[in-house]
C-alpha cells in the first residue's frame, strides 16, 4: 500500500516546515512548496536524512497555473491527495493608514486568494481520494477584528468563512475541511513584532506546537457532529470559548483591553 500524501504550502520555514517534518516522521509522502527554494532544499535534506519521502517545488500561491502544475506533478499517476495544508501567509502590522497599500494587497492575495486558488486546483484530487482532508491555517485574530492587524485579521476572517462553507459543501464528496487557530507563534513572521496584543499575551507557541496540533486534528475520528475549528494553545482555547458564549460587546471590550487601544 502506498504512503498517504500531504501537500503543504509555506513549507520552507516556521509552521510549514515543522508540519512537513511531523508528517514525514509519521510515514507520509510530503509535498513541500514555497517561494523560498533554498529553504526547501534544506528541508528535503533533513527529511531524506531521517529516511522520509519528500518532493519540493517553488510555488507562488497566487499563481493558479503554478498550483495546477505542482499538484499534477505531486499527485502523479494516482491522481489522489490525502491532505492539503494551506499554510502560506504573510503579515504586516501597524495602523492601517501607516501600512503601504501594497502590503495590504499582498496579505489579501497570499493569505486568502492563495488558499482559494489552492482549494480550487486541489478539488479533483481530493474528490478522488477516500477520506481526503483540507487544513486551512486560520488564526485567533479571526475571533474579533484586531487593531494593528486589521487586514491580516480580515484575511483570516475570510478564510474562516471559506472553511465553514466548504466543510458543508464538500461533505458530499467525503472531503473534511477544518481550520487551525493558533495565537502568536515564534516564527520569522513575529520576529520584532510589537503590537498591543503581543505585549499583553506574549508569543508563547512554537512551530512544533502547531504542527503537532495539525497532525492530531487530521487523525481524529469523524463523528456525526463535525468538529471544524481547532484552537491551538491554552490562550486560544480560552479566547475561543469566551467568543462562543460572550455577546459581541464583551468581545469588543476584551479586544480593546488586550490590544491596549
Q: Which residue has the cell 506574549?
A: 202
Quote the radius of gyration of the chain (alpha carbons, Å). Answer: 18
Run of H or E including 38: helix 37-49
Q: One of 28, 33, 144, 152 is an active-site residue; which one?
A: 152
Report the candidate in 140, 146, 149 with the shortest Cα–Cα distance to residue 183.
140
Q: How far is residue 182's CA from residue 140's CA, in Å, rounded to a whole number?
A: 6
| In contact, 84 and 135? CB cutoff 8 Å | yes
Q: How far is residue 231's CA from residue 117's CA, in Å, rounded to a whole number?
A: 25
How is the chain split among helix, strand and coil, in percent rounded to 5? 50, 15, 35
DSSP codes joined into one string, 178-218? EEEEE--BSSGGGTT---HHHHHH---B-HHHHHHHHHHHT
Output b/e per residue, 127-158; b: 16+ Cβ within 10 A: bebeebbbbbbbbbbbbbbbbbbbbbbbbbbb
Q: Is 152 a catalytic residue?
A: yes
First to last CA, the chain: 56
Report the candidate in 164, 232, 178 with the shortest Cα–Cα distance to residue 18.
232
The catalytic residues are: 152
Amino acid at each position: 500500500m502506498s504512503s498517504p500524501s500531504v501537500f503543504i504550502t509555506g513549507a520552507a520555514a516556521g509552521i510549514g516546515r515543522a508540519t512537513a517534518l511531523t508528517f514525514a516522521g509519521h510515514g507520509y509522502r510530503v509535498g513541500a512548496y514555497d517561494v523560498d527554494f533554498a529553504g526547501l532544499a534544506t528541508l528535503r535534506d533533513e527529511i531524506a536524512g531521517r529516511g522520509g519521502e519528500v518532493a519540493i517545488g517553488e510555488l507562488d500561491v497566487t499563481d493558479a497555473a503554478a498550483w495546477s502544475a505542482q499538484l499534477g506533478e505531486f499527485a502523479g499517476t494516482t491522481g489522489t491527495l490525502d491532505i492539503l495544508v494551506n499554510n502560506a501567509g504573510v503579515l504586516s502590522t501597524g495602523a492601517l493608514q501607516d501600512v503601504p497599500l501594497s502590503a495590504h494587497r499582498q496579505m489579501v492575495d497570499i493569505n486568502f486568494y492563495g488558499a482559494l486558488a489552492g482549494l480550487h486546483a486541489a478539488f479533483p484530487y481530493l474528490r478522488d481520494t477516500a477520506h481526503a482532508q483540507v487544513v486551512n491555517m486560520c488564526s485567533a485574530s479571526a475571533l474579533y477584528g484586531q487593531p494593528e492587524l486589521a487586514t491580516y485579521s480580515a484575511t483570516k476572517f475570510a478564510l474562516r468563512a471559506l472553511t465553514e462553507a466548504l466543510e458543508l459543501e464538500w461533505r458530499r464528496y467525503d472531503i473534511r475541511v477544518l481550520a487551525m487557530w493558533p495565537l502568536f507563534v515564534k516564527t520569522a513572521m513575529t520576529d520584532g513584532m510589537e503590537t498591543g496584543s503581543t505585549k499583553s499575551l506574549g508569543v508563547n507557541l512554537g512551530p512544533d506546537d502547531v504542527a503537532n496540533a495539525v497532525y492530531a486534528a487530521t487523525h481524529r475520528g469523524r463523528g456525526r457532529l463535525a468538529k471544524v475549528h481547532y484552537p491551538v494553545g491554552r490562550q486560544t482555547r480560552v479566547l475561543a470559548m469566551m467568543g462562543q458564549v460572550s455577546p459581541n460587546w464583551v468581545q469588543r471590550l476584551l479586544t480593546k483591553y488586550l490590544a491596549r487601544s
